[in-house]
Chains A and B, each alone.
Chain A
Amino acid sequence: MPLSVGGALSTLPARGRFLRALAGLAVLSGSVACNPNAQPKPGELRGILLPDPLPKIDFTLANTAGEPFAFRQQTDGYVTLLFFGFTYCPDICPVHMANLAAVLRKLPLRTANRVKVVMVSVDPDRDTPERLRTWLNAFDPSFVGLRGPIEQVNEIQRALNLPPAIKQQTSEDDYTVGHAAQIIAFTGDNRAHVVYPSGTRQADWAHDLPLLVEADWPAQ
């Protein structure tokens, strides 16, 4: 499976390609080194276990460089933390991102390199690629920001059993967006067994991320 990471490399700039190749090596060495029976037991994870795991669906949206990002293909082999948020969000979104950034900085690189954070904008009208990039850079420049037509974003959310985002007018010329606040964690088996609600703390992430990276749920 880690070999398919290489398939996504051709569109990346040389430096990114080198880093991805390193990350790919980390994936390879990690999967060789880890315990083959490291499937987390019920109750071991601090996230909310889903009764029915979600498949890692296939969709393509534009990243902040304006290039197409094929979600399933370009996150293959990584623990992928998928969140639907927006940059005018003053509370839940920045706290989620700040928690993840802080924990990833503290985790050993061999674990952190196997985690990808992807935020899909639920406010594509105001979240221009530049704005989304600047906002994510405030937390971690490696975080992936994706945007596309809101209809497509809502379709993706529905496919993941999430309620679609709701635009709410707050005044004549301003609005906010109601959105699902949980982060979906996809694992190496290309499914999500667990989600993390708003209010998840660094200690919870620091506890669960290494387990998710080493988890060995049977692939589908």
Chain B
Amino acid sequence: MKTTNCLTLLISTLAALSCASGERASAPVAVASSGDLTVYHAYAPASPAPDVASLYFTVVNDGEAADTLLTITSPAGEATLHNVVTQDGIARMTPVEALPIPPHGLARLAPGGYHVMFSNLVRPLNLGDTIAVELALASGTMLRFPVPVLSYTEVVKRLDQGEPSRR
């Protein structure tokens, strides 16, 4: 009985510890803000191919009015907004012209869904690099922020920890 209690205590302590470190690891970092819009979770995985890369971020809208993400610009390369759509067993990338950001809602770019694809990279995105990114929205708002280049190991670790759904 005593052993069981000790074990329970140990397990719950470990669980609490691991939760705490998990929260710290995925703590939201606002990288840019303008009006009611805030950008979180911006990162680009280091490119395994010299000329192709992707970029992910989340835009949160705290306002009453809807907005729309129209274009993404970066000196790193040609940036296009894509979504992954699976139909009849085939996953394909479809270009997205405009991504709505509902009032009190968000637009989330994450692996397996919406993402920015860089083509014609000026140079490969290397671990530790920082690239500049600018978002243009239908409201006229511009959001400019630095994006860290992370290893894919770090990217999939974050996926496993589960990025917070809001911020």
Which residues of A come within 8 Å of B, CB atoms? 87-92, 94-95, 97-99, 101-102, 131, 134-135, 138-139, 162-163, 165-166, 168, 170, 174, 176-181, 198-199, 201-203
Number of A-B contacts defined by CB within 8 Å: 99
Query: Shortest CB–CB separation between residue B147 and chain A, in angstroms?
Result: 15
Determine the chain A residues whose CB is within 8 A of the CB of B90 once the complex forms.
163, 165-166, 178-180
Partner of A138, one of B93, B95, B152, B156: B152
Q: A95-B155, A138-B48, A202-B160 are in contact. List 8 more A-B contacts (CB 8 A).
A: A88-B52, A90-B82, A92-B91, A95-B152, A95-B156, A101-B153, A178-B92, A201-B156
* Contact, CB under 8 Å: B89 / A94: no
The contact sample of 9 A-B pairs, CB cut-off 8 A, is: A92-B84, A94-B48, A95-B112, A98-B45, A134-B49, A138-B46, A165-B90, A170-B95, A202-B157
Interface of B is mostly: strand
Partner of A198, one of B50, B54, B112, B160: B112
Kindly supply a per-residue 1/0 record for chain B positions 75-98, scoring 1 wherever the CB is within 8 Å of any chain A CB and 0 otherwise.
000000010101011111101000
Which residues of B come within 8 Å of A, CB atoms? 45-46, 48-50, 52-54, 82, 84, 86, 88-93, 95, 111-112, 115, 117-119, 152-153, 155-157, 159-160
Determine the chain A residues whose CB is within 8 A of the CB of B159 once the complex forms.
95, 99, 201-202
* Contact, CB under 8 Å: B53 / A98: no
* Contact, CB under 8 Å: A90 / B117: yes
**In chain A, what residue has the closest Cβ to B54?**
A90
* Contact, CB under 8 Å: B53 / A90: yes
Interface of A is mostly: mixed
In angstroms, Cα B45 to Cα A92, docked, is 13
Query: Shortest CB–CB separation between residue A124 and chain B, in angstroms?
Result: 15
In angstroms, Cα B152 to Cα A180, docked, is 22
**In chain A, what residue has the closest Cβ to B111?**
A95
* Contact, CB under 8 Å: A102 / B54: no
**In chain B, what residue has the closest Cβ to A180?**
B89
**In chain A, what residue has the closest Cβ to B49?**
A87
* Contact, CB under 8 Å: A181 / B117: no
Query: Shortest CB–CB separation between residue A105 and chain B, in angstroms?
Result: 8
